[in-house]
Structure 1
């Protein structure tokens, strides 16, 4: 720890800058791969003869793979460092789009989806842990911009996917996406920051933490990501069915939310460096609460879209702050803390859509969106925990 801290000023302009570029490329690659999967889903379902219910079960298998791999990745990061783990998982992720495209039956499709979700989720933990290591080396926040690159990758992958499939076919798209992802990984590979474990690390530290702090941060991430999932999965349907919006206008709800989120994530690190993690989280949470309430009480679709945009501004930097805080918990390895937070956070993204759909079927989406700010009020109550995200300012103590 001391050697890294003392060396930081000497390497900041060179090696550390390259390390930041590398981890940003890893986020971009991960987002691009999962974004490239989205336009392939209709073909996947048709090829395997899946009903909507069966496709829903398949998507749960993807989520189950992520939840299984995330804590395993955290334990391996604690033993070997995030550089080794993120490289291995990124290489394992590369062929999965091809496997999903070529899967001949339901069994192989389910196995491919389980592995795809596992490698996506495990790499997510590892690249967030590496981003925390780079933050400590640079003594400044970079997590929000890293998540902005993930959002950008997702938009590129999903946005270009349909066009490429129409030109090259479903297999050609998988081959091109795999090659592009491999290029991103090849560029990042030699620049990834090494963060080997300390030789005096106790073996028991790789077990699930028994202290409450990482679990509380995980609950914060969960309560941040449930509203995010609600807007992404149900926002367009809400605008279409309950606001009477056209097909084109209902799509703008997702676009406004995503654009606001990506933009603010690129600006989030500068804001956090200036205001600190606690104040930034509180301001973002208030934006998210106001935006969600505005969307739920809006008299028309246009006002609801403005509400979704405000919600995107707020939610954009809440999860990155929680991840940074998890990676700076005193006495706990970054990989372990981040694996707890990501596992709890993403479990909300997996479970919430079906629960929200069931509830909305009985009370409507407006009532659901009006209730979600209650979760954000809990985040506001726990906002003091965001002080650990500022551990980068003193070398991550």
Structure 2
């Protein structure tokens, strides 16, 4: 839980300091987008080598090793003297973040298997809490006039400390099950691609909620300015609540029922917000979308870690790569569709479609052994 909490603090810190970086280097929107692409695109490009590296060194050791560049990158985020020198640092931050994230999730799959009961959703709930605390604490520090470089350095030290305290308690992972035939291996690889495709759809919706809820609340639901940001808060709150309850639901009903129920909950939430674009109804809809999206990624990671003959780190890496692509492309696709149709409601209908596909098709590709 400490590792998951610490993992999202640096990303939240980067997010709240994007305006700081823009002001410091006097960046245009187009130039600033290069920095955002370095953070997202670097992780996508690095996922293949990262997965092989984590398998080679082991998840526990990979967490410890990745913590150093991860902490150093966020700790020195405000030190580059120019935008040109900032970009390689952001790329290093992205690769280190991906390494830490993959190793941490693969280790979590090992811990869950040893624990004998579902814990993955609760761990991801701590990840969400880390982002929320990081954003709130960072905003408070900015309002108090704390120097951005000192804030970033403190976050870097926190990640190192959490990793150092947690490392002795991490578990060695069991070797992957050996497949019985080439056909069996091909079947596992194909199933892994389908799970990754589901993660892509899920992160299309999640990325859209991060980027478009405030705009929807302001421009479509015509909410007061003070309420516009509440759309994102409603989604995030629903997601945190859903994750902390997800393990109990998985024990009670099984992973397949949880995935189907999550998909329909998210679909109903988005449909409600789009069909009745009033502030309070939209907030309810975004909360339901958060509840629905909460347990999708944890379920997909568990499923990828339990495929016969696929090392957990490689399975999680493959799913993570497609999830990152969905997170990166989802908001862009929705923006393009909204621009082409002159309607953000039509653009966000893409989210309902993606989540609806998970509700209808997801259980076909979730391994039965993920159920408990």
What range describes the TM-score normalised by the shorter chain of this pair? over 0.9
Q: How many Å separate the matches in 1 of 2:146 and 2:32?
A: 25
Are the aligned partners of 2:195 and 2:366 in contact in 1 as well (CA < 8 Å)?
Answer: no
1:1-397 equivalences under 5 Å are: 24-165=1-142, 166-195=144-173, 197=175, 211-363=189-341, 364-385=343-364, 387-388=366-367, 390-391=369-370, 393=372
Contact 1:136 1:392 in 2 (8 A): no
Q: How many Å apart are 1:381 and its aligned residue?
A: 3.4
- 2: CA distance, partners of 1:28 / 1:323: 17
What is the TM-score with the length of structure 2 in the denominator? 0.93
Equivalent-residue separation in structure 1 for 2:193 and 2:229 (angstroms): 35
Structure 1 residue 386: Cα displacement: 5.9
The more displaced of 350-359 and 32-41 is 350-359
Judge conservation of contact 1:218–1:340 (CA < 8 Å) in 2.
Answer: yes
| Structure 1 residues 275 and 199: alpha-carbon distance in aligned structure 2, compared to 1, 3 A threshold | closer
**Residues in 2 aligned to 1:119 and 1:370: alpha-carbon distance in whole angstroms:** 34
Give, in angstroms, the shift of residue 161 of structure 1.
0.6
**Matches of 1:283 and 1:217 in 2, distance apart?**
17
Contact 1:322 1:389 in 2 (8 A): no
Query: Residue 76 of structure 2: SS of its match in structure 1?
Result: helix
Deviation at 1:197, TM superposition (A): 4.4
Shift of residue 378 of structure 1? 2.2
For 1:270 and 1:365, the matched residues in 2 are separated by 36
- Contact 1:61-1:110 at 8 Å conserved across structures: yes
Range with bigger deviation, 187-196 or 313-322: 187-196
Q: Secondary structure of the residue that 2:172 maps to in structure 1?
A: coil
Q: Name the CA distance, whole Å, in 2 between partners of 1:41 and 1:98.
A: 15
Cα gap change, 1:138 to 1:167, in 2 (>3 Å): same
Partners of 2:101 and 2:195 in 1: CA distance: 17
Cα distance in 1 for partners of 2:110, 2:129 equals 22
Q: CA 1:353–1:370 in 2, change beyond 3 Å: closer, same or farther?
A: closer
TM-score (norm 1): 0.87
Report the secondary structure of 1:193's partner residue: coil
With 313-322 and 44-53 compared, the bigger mean Cα shift is at 44-53
Deviations 1:213-247 (A, max 9, x none): 11100000010111111111110011101111122
For 1:82 and 1:389, how far apart are their aligned partners in 2?
25
Aligned equivalent of 1:8: none
1:152-198 deviation line (CA, Å, top 9, x unaligned): 00001111112213332111211222222222222212112222647
CA distance in 2, matches of 1:167, 1:389: 53
Instruction: Tell whether the 8 Å contact from 2:8 to 2:127 is kept in structure 1 after alignment.
Output: yes
Mapped contact 1:288–1:314 kept (Cα < 8 A) = yes
Pair 1:175–1:208, CA change in 2 (3 A): farther
Aligned residues: 367
Q: Which consecutive segments of 4 or more residues in structure 1 shift more than 6 A?
A: 198-201, 207-210
* Shift in Å, 1:385: 4.4
Task: Measure, in 2, the Cα distance between the counterparts of 1:78 and 1:132.
Answer: 14
Instruction: For 1:332 and 1:274, locate their aligned partners in 2 and report how far apart those are by CA, in whole Å.
Output: 28
Alpha-carbon distance in 2 for matches of 1:299, 1:41: 30
* Residue 50 of structure 1, CA deviation: 1.3
Aligned-pair CA distance for 1:60: 0.6
